[in-house]
Structure 1
C-alpha cells in the first residue's frame, strides 16, 4: 500500500480544482441515479402493464423509458466534457511544473541522464497519466456510484438472491489482487525496456554520421534488434498478465450470474417471486457485472499510471544544483568586475578547483587556458550559476552571486558553449531567441559583429534561412557564430566564451575578436581557449593548473 501513496503527491495540483471537480461528481451521481431507474421501469412494464394488460400504463412506462434514457445521455455528456476539461488543466499545470523544475537542473544532469529515458518520462509517462485522468477516473467514479446503486436495488428487490449472486465476487477480487502485483512489476520493466530502446534510437540518429563513417550500420541494426527483442518479450508477458488479470476474475463473475439465473428461476416456478422482479434483478445484476469488471480493469490502469507517476516524481525529486529562492538583490547596472574567493569544487573525482582565488577587472578581455580537466568549464558554470561553489564565493561587483536574483544574473552574464544549441528555425529566429522585442536591424548588427556577414551575403534567403535540425545544415563554425550573435544581441555585462573560435580559420577568428570588442566595448569578456593567437589578444591570461589559477600575463586594464 505504501507505493499507492504516490497518488497523494497529486493533491497539490488537484487542490485548485477541487470545487469544480465536486460539481462534476454531483452531475455524475445524478446521471447514475437516472440510469438506475431503467431496470425498475422494466419490472413495472412486466408486472403492472403486460401482466395486467394495461395499455395506458404501458404507454406511460415506455415514455418514461425514453425520457430517462435521454436525461442520462445529457448528464453523462456534461460530466464527461467538464471532467476532461478540468483534468487537462490540472495535467497542464503538472507539465509546466516539471518543465520549470527541469530548467533549474544543471546541464551536467542532462549529460548524465539518458536522453531517450528523459523523453520517455516527459512524453510517454505524462501522457499515460493524462489518459488515466481523462478517460479512466471519471468512468471509475461512475462505476462506483453504479455499483453502490445496483447493490442497494438488488438487496431491496430480493436479499436472498443478492447473496447468491455475490458469493463469488470476493474470490474474483482476491484473484485479481494476486495478479495485479505481477502486472505492476512487468509494467515497470516494460517502461525501462522502452526507455532503453528510445535511448538507442536517439543515440543512433544523432550519431548517424559517425556510424556511416565507420561502416557500423549492421552493428547498430544488431544492437537495435537485441533491445527491441527484449522490449517485445516484456510486452508479450504484460499482455498475458493483463489477460489473466481480466479473464480469471471475469469467469468467476460469470459463474455468479448463472447461479442467479438458476436460483431466481426456481423461486418463480415455486411462486415466491414475480417474473418482473427477476427481470429487474437480472438487469441490475448485469449492471453490477460491468462496473466490477471495469473497476478490476481499472486496477491495471492505475498500476501502470502509478509506475508513470513514480518515474515523473523521480525527476521532481532530483535536486537542483542551484536555487533561485530567497535571492533578494537585483542587478542594476552591473559593470562586470569578477572575483573568486577561495573557491572549491569537485565533481566527485579529484577536485577541479582547489581554493581558487582570481580577480578579473570590469571591462577586461581575459583568456583562460589550461589542460583538459583543469576546471575551465567548471569555472564557466560557476560564473553563470549552473553550479555553486562547494565552498568559497563568486562575486560580481562585490556582491555574492548567490545573493543576486538568478534571472537577473542569467540576463547579464552569458555563456556561449563550445557546442551551442540551435533550434530548427531561421538564422534570425535563432539569434533573437527569447528576445521578444528584437528589432531586425539589431539582429542584423549582431550577425555582422559575430562574423556572419559573408555567410548571410551568399545565402538567397539571408537571415531568414532555416538552419535545420540542431543547425546541421550549417558548418560547426557557422553554428558557433550564430550562438555568439545570439549573445551579442543581449548586450551582456559579462560574456563567457568556451572555445569560441575552435572551428574558425585565422581570418574569421580575427574578425570575430574585433567584432566582440566593437560590439561590447564596456563588457567583461572571458574566453576559454587553447589558441595562443587568441590569448595574445587578451588583456590578461589566466592559466588553470592543479585547481589553482596563475596570471601569466597582464597588460594594461580597461577603464
Structure 2
C-alpha cells in the first residue's frame, strides 16, 4: 500500500524528468568524486612509500580537482532537485485547492476549515519531503554507498563481506522504525490540524472572545492542541534517536571487525600500505551516508502519511454534475415535487414531502420558527444539497438534468452572513462577473444604496474592505451583497434574511431597491421581520418541514393561523422572537 502511494506521489515528478536526470547526473558526479578520494589516498600513500617525488605537483591538483567535481555535482543535484520540489508543492497545492472548490456542501459540514488549511500547507510540505528531500538523500548517498562498496569489493572482497553481514540487522531496525514513524506522523498531522483550527477560530472570533472574556479558555484550548502536537513530535524524535544510533553501532561494529581482520598478518601481507589506507578510508566514509540513509526513513514515512491524507481528499467525489442541459436564461417557474430531505441518515427530516408550484416573476416569502426548513428549501435550489426523495424542477426541467454552472448562473443569492473578500468594494460587487463594466458596478451600487456610504470614503468604490469586510458595518456589508446580486441580473433571486443587519432607515431604502430588482424575477425571501414581506405575492408558513399555510398577507391574517400569531407577536415587541 505504501509503495503504491509512493509511486503515485512520484508521478507528480514525471513531468520534470529532464531536471530529475540532471540532478541524478550531478549526484553521480558527487558519488564518483567522493569515492575517488579513497583511490587518491591509495596513490598518495604508495607514492610516499616508493619515494616518487615527481608526483608532488600532481597530487595537490588531483585533490583540488576531486573537490571541484564534488562541488559541481552537489550544485547540479541540489539545484534541480529543489526546482522539482517547489514545482511539486505548487502542483499538489493547486490540485488540492481545485478539489476543495468542487467538493459538495456535505463535505464542508463534516470538516473544519482549520484542518483543511493545514492539509494545504503543512501536509503538502511533508509530502514534498518524501518526494524530493528523501529522493535527494537516497540518490546522493545511495550512489555514494554503491560506489564505496564497489571500491571495497574491488580492493578486497573478503573484507567487504563484513559489511554485507550486518545488512539484515539494519533492515529489521528500519522496518520496525518505518511502521512507528508512519503511525506517529498521522497523529502529528491531525494535531497540526487541531492547532490551525483552534487558532483560526480564536482569531476570526476575537470580538466574541474578548467580549465574553474567553481568553483563558482559548489559551487552554490552544495549549492543549499545541502540547499534543509537541508530544507526538517527541515520540517521533525518540524513535529516530534510538534507531539511528543502533544502526550506527552496527556499522561501527562492522568497521571494528574489518579493522581487526585487516590488521591480521595474512591480509596485511597481501595489501600494499596504500591499499590498506584506501580500504580503511572507504570503509570509514561509509558511516555518514549510511546514517543519512537511515535518517531518511522518517522523512519518507512522514511524507507517506501526509500523502495518504492528501490522496484521500483528491479521491473524494466532487459535486454530482451529471446534467447535460444548459439554459441561457430561465423564465423562473419552480416546482417542488414531493421533496423530502435530511442532512444525514440519523437526522430527522428537515423537509417532509413538500410540493409547491411557483409561477415566473412571483415573490414568495418563507416564514416560520427556527429550524422549520425555510433555509433548507433555499439551499436545495442551487443544488448545494440534493433532495433525499422527490425532485425540484426549473421551467419544467429537473435540476439534475441541468449543468451546475448553467443552473447557478440563473440564481443570485444574498444571505444573512455576507461573505466579502479582501479586495475593493467594486471588486466585491463584481465578484464572479469579470466582464462587468464600471458603469454597471456603479448602477448596482446606486440601486443598493451603497453609494450613500461609499461617497464619504477617500477612495470610493476602490476602497479596500479588509478581511471579510471587517472595515464595513453589518448593514454596509449586506448592502454590498445586495448590489452584487443586482449586478448578476439573474432570473431567480434568493434573499435569505438579507435585511436582518440593516437599521430602519437603511431597510426602507433597501426594500425599495429590492422591489425594483425583484420585478420580473422569481424571488424567494426568507425573513424574520414579517413587516418586510407584507407585499409578497405568496407567503408560505413552514413548520417541521411542511408548508402549513399558503396565501398573501391579508389572507393569512384573516385566517388567524400561525402566521397571524407570529405577526401579532412582532407588532407587540420590536425584539427578534427567534422567528428566522
The residue that corresponds to 2:141 in the other structure is 143
CA distance in 2, matches of 1:360, 1:445: 29
CA distance in 2, matches of 1:279, 1:488: 84
CA distance in 2, matches of 1:316, 1:376: 33
CA distance in 2, matches of 1:54, 1:140: 40
The residue that corresponds to 1:129 in the other structure is 127
Deviations 1:85-118 (A, max 9, x none): 2333233222222112111223443343223222
CA distance in 1, matches of 2:433, 2:77: 42
- Range moving further from structure 2, 37-46 or 122-131: 37-46
Whether contact under 8 Å (1:184, 1:307) holds in the other structure is: yes
3-state DSSP class of the match of 1:13?
coil
The residue that corresponds to 1:524 in the other structure is 522
Whether contact under 8 Å (2:475, 2:506) holds in the other structure is: no
CA distance in 2, matches of 1:135, 1:95: 18
Deviations 1:202-224 (A, max 9, x none): 22223322222223333333333
Distance 1:481 1:332, change over 3 A: same
Distance 1:39 1:375, change over 3 A: same
CA distance in 2, matches of 1:381, 1:260: 75
The residue that corresponds to 2:405 in the other structure is 407
CA distance in 2, matches of 1:80, 1:297: 18
The counterpart of 1:283, out of the listed 281, 284, 289, is 281
The counterpart of 2:365, out of the listed 364, 367, 370, is 367
CA distance in 1, matches of 2:419, 2:154: 69
- Range moving further from structure 2, 221-230 or 448-457: 221-230
Whether contact under 8 Å (1:267, 1:273) holds in the other structure is: no
Distance 1:78 1:411, change over 3 A: farther
CA distance in 2, matches of 1:195, 1:33: 44
CA distance in 2, matches of 1:162, 1:4: 31
CA distance in 2, matches of 1:76, 1:121: 32
Distance 1:229 1:77, change over 3 A: closer
3-state DSSP class of the match of 2:264?
helix
The residue that corresponds to 2:550 in the other structure is 552
What are the equivalent positions in structure 2 for 1:163-312 lying under 5 Å apart? Answer: 163-267=161-265, 270-312=268-310
Whether contact under 8 Å (1:341, 1:357) holds in the other structure is: yes
3-state DSSP class of the match of 1:460?
coil
Q: CA deviation at 1:296?
A: 0.7
Distance 1:65 1:520, change over 3 A: farther
Distance 1:529 1:43, change over 3 A: same
CA distance in 2, matches of 1:381, 1:271: 88
Whether contact under 8 Å (2:28, 2:73) holds in the other structure is: no
CA distance in 1, matches of 2:489, 2:132: 46
3-state DSSP class of the match of 1:178?
helix
The residue that corresponds to 1:336 in the other structure is 332
Deviations 1:52-96 (A, max 9, x none): 333444544543443343334324322332232233323322222
3-state DSSP class of the match of 2:416?
coil
The residue that corresponds to 1:97 in the other structure is 95
3-state DSSP class of the match of 1:544?
strand
What root-mean-square deviation, in Å, do the aligned CA atoms of Structure 1 and Structure 2 show?
2.7
Q: Please, what TM-score do these two structures have when normalized by structure 2?
A: 0.87
Deviations 1:354-409 (A, max 9, x none): 23222222222221223222222222222112112223222222222222222232
The residue that corresponds to 1:355 in the other structure is 353
Q: CA deviation at 1:158?
A: 0.4
3-state DSSP class of the match of 1:333?
coil
The residue that corresponds to 1:378 in the other structure is 376
Q: CA deviation at 1:479?
A: 1.6
3-state DSSP class of the match of 1:503?
coil
CA distance in 1, matches of 2:548, 2:68: 84
CA distance in 2, matches of 1:378, 1:11: 43
Whether contact under 8 Å (1:366, 1:540) holds in the other structure is: yes
CA distance in 2, matches of 1:183, 1:395: 53
3-state DSSP class of the match of 2:154?
helix
3-state DSSP class of the match of 1:518?
helix
Whether contact under 8 Å (1:452, 1:481) holds in the other structure is: yes
The residue that corresponds to 1:13 in the other structure is 12
CA distance in 1, matches of 2:331, 2:54: 93
Q: 5+ residue gaps in structure 1?
A: none
Q: CA deviation at 1:14?
A: 4.2
3-state DSSP class of the match of 2:523?
strand
CA distance in 2, matches of 1:39, 1:516: 84
CA distance in 2, matches of 1:213, 1:3: 49
Whether contact under 8 Å (1:166, 1:256) holds in the other structure is: no
Q: CA deviation at 1:150?
A: 1.7
Whether contact under 8 Å (2:23, 2:81) holds in the other structure is: yes
Whether contact under 8 Å (1:179, 1:244) holds in the other structure is: no
User: Is 1:454 paired with 2:452?
Assistant: yes
CA distance in 2, matches of 1:99, 1:16: 20
Whether contact under 8 Å (1:176, 1:246) holds in the other structure is: no
CA distance in 1, matches of 2:521, 2:265: 96
Q: CA deviation at 1:4?
A: 4.6
CA distance in 2, matches of 1:342, 1:20: 60
User: Is 1:323 paired with 2:320?
Assistant: yes
- Range moving further from structure 2, 70-79 or 492-501: 70-79
3-state DSSP class of the match of 2:199?
helix
Q: CA deviation at 1:154?
A: 0.9
The residue that corresponds to 1:440 in the other structure is 438
